[in-house]
Structure 1
């Protein structure tokens, strides 16, 4: 059984302008989950001294996304900006940057580190203080804009879930209504592993990359059917259909980084960003994600993402327990 979170901080309807829409070298659209994990880690490192809590996972519900791309036609292009002239007065080159405007709700798992989270007023004060602090930060490279209104559903909240299972379910159902309309991004490593085995059954040379590419694209298949016309003559008719191995809104996503070199000592690599820290060359790790409506999530744990590093193997990645909580509920 997966350990259930006790407290959940809800930061609703954050309007993020010009967030990074290029999530990796192979994917674009919604920012990578590592960008949101980095934002809450920055928030945790800058907590006031009087707030003694620990963050434990982050979930994101997207209510609206507006990619800054050209409209019309099948091929799209990002809206690019002209940079200022360089130090010599010459025109600077255009650096391609993908941007998107987002409307998201952040949900952060919370554990007490000495703070009294049983006090309602204390929880309200913490939620309001952290909400104000987040609105002065940058998330996924974008600027957090002021809210359009101070409606009740747009107020931050720090929820303490009841130990009673029935009451806990009621609290979660009330929260899910606040998250609508929207979609939460969850991890489907199980689909990728299962589809890899399916392809290997037909082709021994199939790999996880083949399965990932197969799940990322729309596969159009043609089926030939024989029909008789009014005169009794047989004719072959082609029917095109899209093959979908699994239901749901599946998308390719980056989930972290894998090492492609040894771990170098601090200062050993020239021009590293921080010469005081060890350095390692890495490349992106990819998996399959699924956009799920919050009303289909049975527990709040299903939408939270956690850090799951394996330092011995040089794997630095995020994980999510949606598939585990989903199978346990079934």
Structure 2
């Protein structure tokens, strides 16, 4: 059973425009904000609601409709950087490289609704109540930041809060209708399974290969020579250079999926100059995996789209999870 099993509603914010979002998702990747930025946004929205509605935000899905990275064109790319004002001595201040990107995205939050006293359930309540909740969340989002970028809401695209069907057939039909609204666009899903499988492939060729080798090999475009016609007495062999594709549909990208601890968890207030003296602290580094961009019509269930967070302080792991690959294995077993 997945972490999404208790969610009984979908809060959908369609075609949200984000200007100057952070395109540098980690020390090694760029091109789209890290999925942890959207999970952080989900928690920030829940906190800003401050109990106004009895809703818990469980997970989030992202569909990208358009993107415009602020970079120079050509074989080698560079970020468009802002010119900082001169300092008090009239000298040019140091430039800290910032990668920015303009986005148009649809956000899908899986929520849990609870009954408090005589207040009706916000997910199972009437249509007008659900629409009011969706509008309030959208208005709240309009004053926030997404991955550091400014948010602009299109009044032509209305937010909605919809009950999530429980039965398999009804749920499949509901998701089929929803995913059609998200076209054209691409959803980011996790492919940890491909990383593990590719590691075994590389180790069959080189026993010293590790996960970093597999991650780098999947992150780049590999072009290899393939012999299409063997050599003969009169003609040499014919060779064609072809790009190696791991999957027939979608494309793979390296993504950060959370953080790994570098030191034991320190008690609150014991680390000097910490931003928060009430919370335990530890130093971390990024964790990496492989993601896949897929058109929403290729997803079979809303769980395939959604990302949730988990924390294992004892192991030093703070990860974002998506169950698209798990659903593939479940279908194979069936």
TM-score range, shorter chain: over 0.9
Task: Name the residue aligned to 2:240.
Answer: 239
Listed one character per residue, the Cα deviations across residues 44-67 of structure 1 (whole Å, up to 9, x for unaligned) are: 011143311100100000000000
1:302 aligns with 2:304: yes
Q: Any residues of structure 2 matched to 1:23-102 within 5 Å, and which?
A: 23-71=25-73, 73-87=74-88, 89-102=90-103
Shift of 1:269: 2.3
Report the CA distance shift for 1:4/1:274 in structure 2 as closer, same or farther (over 3 A): closer
- Partner Cα separation in structure 2 for residue 241 and residue 4 of structure 1: 46
- Partner Cα separation in structure 2 for residue 50 and residue 145 of structure 1: 23
| Cα pair 1:4 1:301 within 8 Å, conserved | no
Task: Name the residue aligned to 1:226.
Answer: 230
- TM-score, normalised via structure 1 length: 0.92
Give me the CA root mean square deviation.
Answer: 1.7
- Partner Cα separation in structure 1 for residue 9 and residue 329 of structure 2: 23
- Partner Cα separation in structure 2 for residue 282 and residue 226 of structure 1: 53
Task: Name the residue aligned to 1:168.
Answer: 171
| Cα pair 1:78 1:97 within 8 Å, conserved | yes
Shift of 1:89: 4.8
Task: Name the residue aligned to 1:214.
Answer: 217
Task: Name the residue aligned to 1:138.
Answer: 145
Aligned residues: 322
Shift of 1:146: 3.8
- Partner Cα separation in structure 1 for residue 218 and residue 319 of structure 2: 21
Which blocks of at least 5 consecutive residues in structure 2 are unaligned? none
- Partner Cα separation in structure 1 for residue 64 and residue 93 of structure 2: 35
Report the CA distance shift for 1:165/1:245 in structure 2 as closer, same or farther (over 3 A): closer
- Partner Cα separation in structure 2 for residue 259 and residue 50 of structure 1: 35
Stretch deviating more after TM superposition (302-311 or 83-92): 83-92
SS at match of 2:246: coil
Shift of 1:95: 1.1
| Cα pair 1:258 1:282 within 8 Å, conserved | yes
Q: Any residues of structure 2 matched to 1:156-195 within 5 Å, and which?
A: 156-195=159-198
Shift of 1:240: 1.1
Q: Any residues of structure 2 matched to 1:249-260 within 5 Å, and which?
A: 249-260=251-262
SS at match of 2:311: coil
- Partner Cα separation in structure 2 for residue 99 and residue 274 of structure 1: 28
- TM-score, normalised via structure 2 length: 0.91
- Partner Cα separation in structure 2 for residue 139 and residue 84 of structure 1: 26
- Partner Cα separation in structure 1 for residue 138 and residue 153 of structure 2: 11
Which blocks of at least 5 consecutive residues in structure 1 are unaligned? none
- Partner Cα separation in structure 1 for residue 188 and residue 271 of structure 2: 36
SS at match of 1:266: coil
